Structures are given as structure tokens and as C-alpha cells.
């Protein structure tokens, strides 16, 4: 599978190693998917510090609950969903505390590991440097979860249709149709302006 790292180790194998106590294996999984979930967290919060906190917590929860993942090959979708739930929980807490809050508003941040912080900083700097990318990320944040996920896997994680299908456990044709629908929805949210693939690929 092309989701393997340069050493040729699949998600499934890394999950199995991590379950046997190999912390380095889990670290490689975290490194492999940090950008995907950091983009999601930025889409939901709009702020680097908040995204850092959510990403760090997502990895902590994933490590503790790794034994509940029945298919290691689906780690990408699993960690994405953990991150998404954390984003939703954070937004609900913020709303209870301060009343009505826009979905992409901010929240207090906590310190995180240097590696993740630096990685997220790079994503945040890209957002600040490109108004087009910022608009795309805001529009993506408003998409239904399953559509946002296929865009993220395709353009941020650079997965093929086959790889996405394997991760989601769905036919490649279904993935292709959903991605087409997702890009059309994204275009509608941007006022009918076509979103070039180049701009989506630059999100990574």
C-alpha cells in the first residue's frame, strides 16, 4: 500500500506493534497523520493554539483506546473521527460558557509537544499567507463530515481513490462520487467560484 512510510510499514502493522508496547510505532502513526487532523482542527477552531490542544488530546485518546480499533488499516479514519468529536465537544463547552459562539471561534489553549507545535505552526502560517486557502478552509469547515473527510484524505493526505476506499471500507466508485459531490458543495460555499485542485493540494 502507498500509505506505507519509506520503510514500507503499513498502518495495520504499526498498530499491531503499538499494541505490543512499541511506542515508536505509535509515534510513526502520529507523524503520518498529524497534518490531516491538524487541518481539521484548524478548520473547526480557526486558531493554531486551539488546534494544537485538540490534536494533542486526540493522540492521547487514540493511544489509550488503540485496543478498540478492530482494523488497523482504518487508523486514518479512526483518528480523524476522534479529532472531530473532540472539536465538537470543545465547541459545546465554549458555547455553554460564553453563550452563542460561531462554529469557528476560539478557545483557551494549552502547551503541546514541540514537534506537533512546529507542524501546526507551518499549517497556520500557510493560512495567514494565503487568503484563498483561508477561504477554502472556512468553506471546508462547513461541509458535512463525510464530505470533508474525503477531501482531506485526497488532498491533504494525498491518498488515491483506492487507498481512501480501503481506509473507509467503501467501494472506490463511491469514494469518487463523494469526492465529486464534495468539491461541488465546496464550490457552492465559495459563491460558485471554482476551486482548482492546485489550491486544495496546497492545503498540505
Following DSSP, what letter does each residue of 93-143 receive, concatenated?
HHHHHHSS--TT---------HHHHHHHHHHHHHHHH-HHHHHHHHHHHTS
Q: Which three cell numbers stand for residue 48?
A: 493554531
Better pLDDT: 33 or 127: 33
Is the pLDDT assigned to residue 204 strictly greater than 70?
no
User: What pLDDT does 66 receive?
Assistant: 94
User: What pLDDT does 179 receive?
Assistant: 92
pLDDT band at 166 (very low <50, low <70, confident <90, very high): confident
pLDDT (tens digit, 9 = 90+) per residue, 29-71? 998 888 888 888 888 887 788 889 999 999 999 999 999 998 8
User: What pLDDT does 148 receive?
Assistant: 86
Report how far residue 110's alpha carbon sits from residue 140's, in angstroms, rounded to the nearest whole number: 25
Is the pLDDT assigned to residue 159 strictly greater than 80?
yes
**Terminal-to-terminal C-alpha distance of the chain:** 20
pLDDT (tens digit, 9 = 90+) per residue, 65-90? 999 998 888 898 899 889 988 988 88
Q: What is the pTM of this model?
A: 0.57
The pLDDT mean for the chain works out to 77
pLDDT (tens digit, 9 = 90+) per residue, 181-198? 998 998 888 888 787 777
Q: Within 10 A of 202 (CB to CB), how many other CB atoms are there?
A: 14
User: What pLDDT does 134 receive?
Assistant: 66
Amino acid at each position: 500500500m502507498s500509505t506505507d512510510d519509506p520503510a514500507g510499514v503499513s498502518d495495520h502493522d504499526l498498530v499491531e506493534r503499538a499494541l505490543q508496547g512499541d511506542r515508536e510505532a505509535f509515534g510513526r502513526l502520529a507523524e503520518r497523520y498529524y497534518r490531516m487532523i491538524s487541518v481539521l482542527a484548524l478548520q473547526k477552531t480557526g486558531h493554531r493554539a486551539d488546534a494544537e490542544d485538540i490534536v494533542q488530546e486526540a493522540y492521547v485518546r487514540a493511544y489509550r483506546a488503540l485496543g478498540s480499533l478492530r482494523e488497523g488499516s482504518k487508523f486514518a479514519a479512526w483518528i480523524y473521527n476522534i479529532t472531530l468529536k473532540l472539536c465538537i465537544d470543545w465547541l459545546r463547552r465554549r458555547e455553554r460558557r460564553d453563550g452563542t459562539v460561531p462554529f469557528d471561534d476560539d478557545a483557551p489553549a494549552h502547551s503541546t509537544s514541540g514537534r506537533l507545535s512546529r507542524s501546526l505552526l507551518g499549517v497556520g502560517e500557510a493560512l495567514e499567507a494565503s487568503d484563498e486557502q483561508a477561504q477554502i478552509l472556512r468553506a471546508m469547515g462547513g461541509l458535512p463530515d463525510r464530505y470533508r473527510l474525503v477531501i482531506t484524505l485526497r488532498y491533504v493526505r494525498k491518498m488515491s481513490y483506492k487507498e481512501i476506499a480501503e481506509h473507509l471500507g467503501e467501494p472506490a466508485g463511491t469514494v469518487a462520487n463523494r469526492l465529486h459531490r464534495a468539491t461541488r458543495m465546496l464550490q457552492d460555499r465559495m459563491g460558485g467560484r471554482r476551486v482548482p485542485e492546485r489550491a486544495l493540494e496546497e492545503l498540505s
